A and B are shown apart, each in its own frame.
Chain A
Amino acid sequence: MAYSDKVLDHYKNPRNVGSLAKDDPNVGTGLVGAPECGDVMKLQMRVNPQTQVIEDAKFKTFGCGSAIASSSLATEWVKGKTVDEALKIKNTEIVKELNLPPVKIHCSVLAEDAIKAAIADYRKKRGAGQPTAVGEPAQASAD
């Protein structure tokens, strides 16, 4: 299978790799996917509670090149957006930007889920007063 130049670029030079302190009340963490399915994404964001702007974002991904590229792109896109703006990011935009083939669309879905899960986590931490994310985030939790 041939990869698009953009996927290759994100794979070779992933943006914003790393972790943020998950106990920081301003950090939201989204962990989606499952090892058995071959992809797990962890996306974290630090939100300014006054402005609701996402000031930093980090990711780590276990998965194919397209999954790595999708999550790398997602961190780039959420940075500088407000939480509400970030919630509007659609997987189809990721597909378009990275030229993902049909078999890789699930990677983009997972990236969208990761954004939503991270925001839901942030809002949960900040108190129940905030509206929750649209749709059910597929967040993994250690029970």
Chain B
Amino acid sequence: MALKLPIYMDNHATTPVDPRVVEAMLPYFTSRFGNAASRNHTFGWEAEQAVENAREQVARLINATPKEIIFTSGATESDNLAIKGVAEMYREKGNHIITMVIEHKAVLDTCKRLEKYGCQVTYLPVTKDGLIDLDDLRRAITPKTILITLMYANNEIGVLQPIEEIGKIAKEHGVIFHTDATQAVGKIPFDVQKFNVDLASLSAHKMYGPKGVGALYVRRKNPRVQLAPIIDGGGHERGMRSGTLNVPSIVGFGAACEIAQKEMATEMERLGKLRERLKGSIFKRLDEVYVNGSLEHRLPNNLNISFAYVEGESLLMGINDVAVSSGSACTSATLEPSYVLKALGVGEDLAHTSIRFGLGRFNTEEEVDYVVDRVVETVSRLRELSPLYEMAKEGVDLKQMQWKAD
């Protein structure tokens, strides 16, 4: 069968909506369009019933109860609500927050804003594997600590933090634990009870659901977590998030969760094999390629590789019928190379050469093989063009060079 181009392999950025999810959503745009808050007619009741059904589907996937699910516009809002909500609600108790340097910007920038309002934030470093040191975390906790916010799976390198241990430490110290689980939920098992998670951010569009909808899990028992809302209004979602519910998208989110739960085990295995195929073939055919972050503690669908001596944007240009992302400065809005790779101690020279592959539900073996061919061919061609590759082959130590750049 002929391959369909372009190939999408950027599933950490977003995922296509599963056709089964679209199917579930459609009636809620037209015949069942009611406002879930309308209490006195069937249109409202139907919408409310659909939302409550979705709430159960989401809750079941993460082993929570439906009342603990607050629907939001996505994980960025969930992160904001969790962190700002705790900071305000628990300000009598303390003002110290612990996070880490490779969090998503939705967490880092929220923490930075809170610093302006008097919060103290500790940014834990990570090892070259991309993992925090649990002793660093223990040492960082003070009597003023009100929140630990550490992501489960990283969006660039797919590295998984030791979430169960973090949950235990947080519980021992009586500190609320929030995790941005956006990249993990629906891909690998995530259990709020087992992990002692108090708050968790979720997003539908990273798991074959629609964009513009997400959720915050808010623990109701042991301990009962309270949040100050950041959006005030009609008191929807137990007063924590006002605004008319996005019923079709919430229905889609629920359907996506149900599918993920049913298919997770087989999908994890399949994607893990595809990832090994991708990595194995690239490593067999190219020298001087490096995996960024731990391979052991990692999402099965993620691969982040630096191709030494080949700048990332030029590589993307060469494989223009394949959609992946790069940590190169040239591809970022800030013109800075990836802060995540920098935090791992990946040199800026190698950070410029990194490519993130995000495999997904709809990728096939044939696609992986095609991508490998294109990558190998383009890297080889660009290395022929690279003065650095030439110098390295001549034995020049590039690290000892004194580069004089403006």
Interface residues of A (CB under 8 A from B): 3, 8, 11, 14, 17, 19, 31-42, 60-65, 67-68, 103, 109, 113, 138-143
Contact = CB atoms under 8 A, between A and B. Distances in A.
A63 B400 contact: no
B311 A142 contact: no
A107 to B, nearest CB: 9
Given A113-B406, A139-B404, A142-B400, A35 B314 contact: no
Interface string B394-406: 0010101111111
The 8 closest A-B CB pairs, nearest first, are A34-B403, A35-B349, A42-B387, A34-B405, A64-B313, A36-B348, A60-B387, A38-B352
* Most interface-central of A33, A36, A64, A113 (chain B CB within 10 A): A64
Given A3-B317, A41-B387, A138-B404, A62 B310 contact: yes
B330 A64 contact: yes
A63 B398 CA distance: 16
Q: Provide the main secondary structure of the chain A interface.
A: mixed
Contacts of B309: 62
A35 B385 contact: no
Contacts of B386: 60-62
B11 interface: no
Contacts of B314: 11, 63-65, 67-68
A19 B393 CA distance: 14
B284 to A, nearest CB: 24
Interface of B: 309-311, 313-314, 317-318, 328-330, 335, 337, 347-349, 352, 384-390, 396, 398, 400-406
Nearest to A137: B404
* Most interface-central of B317, B318, B400, B405 (chain A CB within 10 A): B405
A140 B404 contact: yes
* Most interface-central of A38, A63, A65, A141 (chain B CB within 10 A): A38
Contacts of A3: 317
B396 to A, nearest CB: 6
Given A38-B330, A40-B387, A140 B311 contact: no
B405 A37 contact: yes
B403 A140 contact: yes
6 contacts: A38-B337, A62-B387, A63-B314, A64-B314, A68-B314, A140-B403
Nearest to B388: A62
A64 to B, nearest CB: 4
Given A35-B403, A64-B317, A140-B402, 6 more contacts: A32-B405, A39-B311, A61-B387, A62-B311, A68-B314, A142-B396
B313 A138 contact: no
B311 A63 contact: yes
A47 to B, nearest CB: 20
Contact of A142 (B330, B352, B402): B402
Nearest to A107: B330
B380 to A, nearest CB: 13
B347 A11 contact: no
Nearest to A33: B405
A66 B389 CA distance: 19
A32 B402 CA distance: 11
Nearest to A44: B387
A70 to B, nearest CB: 12
Contacts of B388: 35, 40, 62
Contacts of A143: 402
B9 to A, nearest CB: 19
A9 to B, nearest CB: 12
Contacts of B389: 62
A36 B385 CA distance: 18
Contacts of B406: 109, 113, 138
A74 B388 CA distance: 19
B402 A14 contact: no
Contact of B347 (A8, A36, A62): A36
Contacts of B317: 3, 8, 11, 64-65
A42 B392 CA distance: 14
A7 B398 CA distance: 28
A33 to B, nearest CB: 5
A14 B403 contact: no
Contacts of A68: 314, 385
A113 B390 CA distance: 21
A36 B349 contact: yes
Nearest to B402: A143
Contacts of B398: 35
Contacts of A139: 404
